């Protein structure tokens, strides 16, 4: 009996089903013409010129009875210069008149000197303590 019920159900479903017929669909073709525009060769907007980047050059200088180490420093004009000067053995000084620098150096204490190298040339720095005859030079290119 079960088989007969299943068979009748399948026949009923087959009889009720509609045949789907595919119809060809056509898409209408539309021709679009874009008018030619006159575009400028260059963009109208030009970004503002960027400011020059200030470069910081850092140098560590040790001051000893034998002199400054290093005793020669070279930087570029326009550089921001940061010197870290340390008296190793006895108190010294770091004097560079061209940049109005005159610093006392205590033993074991870093002294930070910052300035902008705005003048080209070779400039002498020295210890102004009597008998210390320590000299060095800063070259600004």
Transcribe 93-110 into DSSP letters.
EEEEGGGTEEEEE-BT-E
| Alpha-carbon torsion angle 113, 119, 121, 127, nearest 10 | -30
> Is there a domain that residue 128 lies in?
yes
What is the pairing mode between strands 67-69 and 92-96? unpaired
> Is there a domain that residue 48 lies in?
no
Question: Rg of the chain over CA atoms, in angstroms?
Answer: 43
Count of the separate structural domains present in the chain: 1
> Is there a domain that residue 131 lies in?
yes
> Is there a domain that residue 78 lies in?
yes
> Is there a domain that residue 119 lies in?
yes
pLDDT in tens, the chain (141 residues): 677 777 667 666 666 666 656 666 677 778 877 777 666 666 666 767 766 666 889 999 999 999 999 999 999 999 999 999 999 999 999 999 999 999 999 999 999 999 999 999 999 999 999 989 899 999 999
What CATH number did the domain enclosing 64 receive?
2.60.40.420
Q: Which two tokens stand for residue 135?
A: 């000299």
Q: What pTM did the predictor assign?
A: 0.61
Q: Which domain holds residue 75?
A: 56-140
- Of 23, 3, 139, the closest CA to residue 79 belongs to 139
> Is there a domain that residue 50 lies in?
no
> Is there a domain that residue 45 lies in?
no
Q: Which two tokens stand for residue 18?
A: 């509609």
Q: Which two tokens stand for residue 108?
A: 């074991």
């Amino acid at each position: 009996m079960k088989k007969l019920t299943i068979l009748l159900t399948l026949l009923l479903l087959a009889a009720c089903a509609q045949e789907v017929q595919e119809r060809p669909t056509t898409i209408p073709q539309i021709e679009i013409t874009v008018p030619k525009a006159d575009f400028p060769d260059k963009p109208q907007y030009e970004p503002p010129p960027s400011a020059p980047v200030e470069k910081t050059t850092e140098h560590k200088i040790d001051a000893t009875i034998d002199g400054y180490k290093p005793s020669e420093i070279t930087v570029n004009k326009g550089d921001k210069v940061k010197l870290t000067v340390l008296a190793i053995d006895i108190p010294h000084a770091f004097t560079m008149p061209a940049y109005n620098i005159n610093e006392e150096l205590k033993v074991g204490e870093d002294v930070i000197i910052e300035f902008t190298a705005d003048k080209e040339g070779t400039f002498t720095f020295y210890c102004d303590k009597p008998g210390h005859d320590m000299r060095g030079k800063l070259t600004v290119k």
